[in-house]
Amino acid sequence: MRKIFRNRAVGAVLALSLVAAACGSGDSTDGDPIVISSFNFNESVIVAELYAQALEQAGYTVDRNLNLGNREVVKPALENGDIDLVPEYVGTINSFLGGTPTADSQATYEEAKELFEESGVTLLAYSPAQDKNAYVVTAETAAEHGLSKISDLGTVAGQFIFGGPPECPEREFCLQGLVDVYGLNFAEFKPLDVAGPITVAALEGGEVDVALLFSSQGIIAEKGWVVLDDDKGLQPAENLVPAIRQEVVDAYGRDMTKIIEAVSVLLTQEDLTEMNKRADLDQEDPAAIAEEWLSNVELGLD
């Protein structure tokens, strides 16, 4: 029971509007399919599947448009009504919308929500799970030099090689930030890929001492590596958060949003990392991974 969906005829729109008005509250599973999308990487697909399968289990009809692309593709599709729901990240979408993200999850979320609502999109409750830049060392390096937080690098950075994406030296949340916020000056910067297999191999092989990875990557736990605590708050919060069109929220009501938010709230950092490992390293199907997770949690909607 939604309105103005993807070039429908005026008569169909009017009919839907009359049905919606008759139903009143909007708390119904009847209506057009909810189109759920994702960015083009496994983590996003898994979380999109969590939303989709939870809604389907509750009786909602869902269409999937997964692996749609990057944010330059996904955001306009969401705003234009081509898709209805996508897992976002509070810091990145805040910045993309012209805001100023910080390490404070709640403040970053609130600003992003306000900014996005100008385009007819709202953010539901965010997850404790995050996927943000992480500065990683091997367990051996951490033990040898007593490293647990980024500040600890101050006494050894001059001896260390730091590896990250080629653009890292110019980025405020990468090498530039390590210099400006932490005062770190590494012996050498080694350009690698974006937290991919080249970076993993370089850290594992000792070609670099510190590497930029993403905090939810399964390889970190798999290898027993150490994520250094960002004790000065260089990195903005990147909690996963459902971004959904306000028209869909209005049409389906609180019963629908509670399902999505229950998924978000229950998704822990450990869960996300483990699911990423299974998809990225073990090559398991994201949909099957999501189905298993949902079978082992209680959404508490009764």
The string over 49-63, giving b where at least 16 C-beta atoms fall within 10 Å of a residue's C-beta and e elsewhere, is: bbbbbbbeeeebebe
pLDDT in tens, 121-165: 999 999 999 999 999 999 999 999 999 999 999 999 999 999 999
pLDDT value at position 298? 87
Residue 301 lies in a domain: no
Span 269-287, average pLDDT: 95
Residue 300 lies in a domain: no
Residue 53 lies in a domain: yes
* Judgement on whether residues 121 and 242 belong to the same structural domain of the protein: yes
Residue 168 lies in a domain: yes
Residue 2 lies in a domain: no
Handedness of CA 131, 133, 149, 146 (dihedral sign): positive
Name the domain count of the chain: 2
CA-CA distance, 153 to 185, in Å (whole number)? 10
Structural domain containing residue 77: 10-130+237-295
* Judgement on whether residues 19 and 126 belong to the same structural domain of the protein: yes
What is the pTM assigned to this prediction? Answer: 0.84
Specify the higher pLDDT residue, 23 or 87.
Answer: 87
* Nearest of 207, 164, 200 to residue 280 by alpha carbon: 200
3-state secondary structure of 189: strand
* Judgement on whether residues 116 and 251 belong to the same structural domain of the protein: yes
* Judgement on whether residues 92 and 158 belong to the same structural domain of the protein: no
pLDDT, mean over the chain: 90
pLDDT in tens, 248-258: 999 999 999 99
pLDDT value at position 300? 74
* Judgement on whether residues 105 and 251 belong to the same structural domain of the protein: yes
* Judgement on whether residues 72 and 183 belong to the same structural domain of the protein: no
Percentage of the chain exceeding pLDDT 70: 91
* Judgement on whether residues 242 and 126 belong to the same structural domain of the protein: yes
- Assign residue 56 the CATH number of its domain: 3.40.190.10
Distance from the first to the final alpha carbon of the chain: 23
Residue 268 φ/ψ region, left for φ over 0, alpha for ψ in the -120 to 50 degree band, beta for the rest: beta
pLDDT in tens, 85-108: 999 999 999 999 999 999 999 999
